[in-house]
Amino acid sequence: MAELLLSNLSHSYPGAGAPTLSGLNLRIASGEAHALLGSSGAGKSTLLNLLSGLLPASPGQLLLGGQDLADQLPSSRGVAQVFQFPVLYEAMSVLGNLAFPLRVMGMSRRDCRARARQMAEQLEIDHLLERRPTRLGLFEKQLVAIGKALVRPDLSLVLLDEPLTAAEPARKWRLRHTLKSLQRESGATMIYVTHDQTEALTFADRISVMHEGGILQTGSPEQLINAPTHEHVGYFVGTPGMNFLDARIESNVCLVGDVPFGSLVVSPGVCRIGFRPEWAKLAGAPAQTHSGSDWIIAADVISQRVLGTHRGVPFGLVDATVAGARIVTRQPLDEVPSGRAQLHLDTVRAFRQGWVVDA
């Protein structure tokens, strides 16, 4: 119905040196909740503005439901956009704001009002309808802005550009749920831009991690956590992010600081191995020495931070060093020794020039 397809999309701002977006390829299914995750300057907002038509067409192709967006005016694309800070018509009431996009479409006054009221009820702002936006709090204003964006019945794509920056955490959570249910109801495809991975992970069906104008990886939250294809994805997604150690591969053995760590079927040479804090465990050193192929290595515990308890056992983060590099593990804290310890890994990934190399 309204599948979004970007092929080889690029964009350069006039006068800027490097392109802001280069060679993007992405397919977003109809009705999908998709998040664009990345730090500022990654090109997320530029991509949104290309989709909505606020930026002129660029090299590459943008297809929405099979139609080339480049031929269409911003207002006729069926695309709505919510900005980082609420943008409303300040001289109109909340009801007027919600009804405005419908009025422009030529809908009758009664239908406009009915639809606007319905939208307000869904967002739980129906008690604010007669107020002016200037009399509302930041969060309420943003709710109205979201309502104004979603009110049009002909929407096929909704773009949200860090819309919850203004909200406090508890309300963010609720609003995200409201957004998701609105999206499911309307069947519109939603693209949610954020630099907050928690927001992305809880909102989206799939996430694209953007970095320096390109997409590093697109996948479900589980895929990004369990199988990051790029160091940056590993580091950016997850709290705390992935640990990395400089390593060398010699005849399928991974050496860290010249000490054998584990076996890894990868071509010989320098690489970096990455592991998530929850894939690792620090424990006391047993008497016998290990074989060098079982992913155990000597470590020095620096400190631990309690995050909570799990089945009565304190649970948290442990900082340590391995071969001079800092690492963090997430584990039960009852068996963590102080000082000398051993690091056990369940899973590990190898990266070269940033990209994953193990199969």
Partner 1 sequence: MRDNRAWLGVLPVLLIVAFSAVIPLMTVVNYSVQDIFDANTRIFVGLDWYRETLRDPRLQSALLRQILFSSLILALEIPLGILVAKSLPRAGRSVGLWLVLLAIPLLIPWNVVGTIWQLFARPDIGLLGATLQNLGFDYNYTAGTLDAWLTLLAMDVWHWTSLVALLAFAGLTAIPDAYYQAARLDGASRWQIFRHVELPRLTSVLTIAVLLRLMDSFMIYTEPFVLTGGGPGNSTTFLSQYLTSMAVGQFDLGPAAAFSVLYFLVVLLLCWLFYTSVMRNRDAH
Residues within the interface to partner 1 (CB under 8 A): 49, 52-54, 74-76, 79-81, 83, 85, 87, 89-93, 100-101, 104-105, 130-132, 135, 145, 148
Give the residue with the Cβ less far from partner 1, 77 or 195: 77
| Helix then strand then coil, % of the chain, to nearest 5 | 30, 35, 35
Closest approach, Cβ 49 to partner 1, in A, equals: 8
Q: How far apart are CA 268 and CA 227, in angstroms?
A: 22
Closest approach, Cβ 266 to partner 1, in A, equals: 48
Residue recorded with tokens 């406009």 = 112
Rg of the chain over all Cα atoms, to the nearest angstrom = 25
Give the residue with the Cβ less far from partner 1, 89 or 173: 89
Q: Which parts of the chain fold into alpha helices (H)? A: 44-52, 94-105, 109-122, 138-150, 169-186, 197-203, 221-226, 231-236
Closest approach, Cβ 44 to partner 1, in A, equals: 16
Q: How far apart are CA 233 and CA 247, in angstroms?
A: 19
Q: Which parts of 123-168 fold into alpha helices (H)? A: 138-150
Closest approach, Cβ 145 to partner 1, in A, equals: 8
Query: Is residue 11 within a helix (H) or strand (E), and if so which, with residue range?
Result: strand 4-11
Give the residue with the Cβ less far from partner 1, 25 or 49: 49
Closest approach, Cβ 183 to partner 1, in A, equals: 18
Q: How far apart are CA 56 and CA 61, in angstroms?
A: 12
- In this structure, the chain runs to a length of 359
Angle 138-150/169-186 helices, nearest 10 degrees? 10
Whether the Cβ atoms of residue 179 and residue 190 lie closer than 8 Å to each other: yes
Q: In the beta sheet, which residues pair with residue 158? A: 80, 190
Give the residue with the Cβ less far from partner 1, 100 or 315: 100
Closest approach, Cβ 347 to partner 1, in A, equals: 44
Give the residue with the Cβ less far from partner 1, 148 or 172: 148
Residues whose CB is less than 8 angstroms from the CB of residue 118 and which lie 6 or more positions away in sequence, other chains included: none
Give the residue with the Cβ less far from partner 1, 158 or 280: 158
Closest approach, Cβ 104 to partner 1, in A, equals: 4
Closest approach, Cβ 53 to partner 1, in A, equals: 8
Give the residue with the Cβ less far from partner 1, 131 or 272: 131
Task: Phi first, then psi: give them for residue 192, nearest 5 degrees.
Answer: -120, 115
Closest approach, Cβ 256 to partner 1, in A, equals: 49
Give the residue with the Cβ less far from partner 1, 45 or 243: 45
Whether the Cβ atoms of residue 162 and residue 84 lie closer than 8 Å to each other: yes
HSE, CB side, 13 Å, CA atoms: give it for residue 64: 22
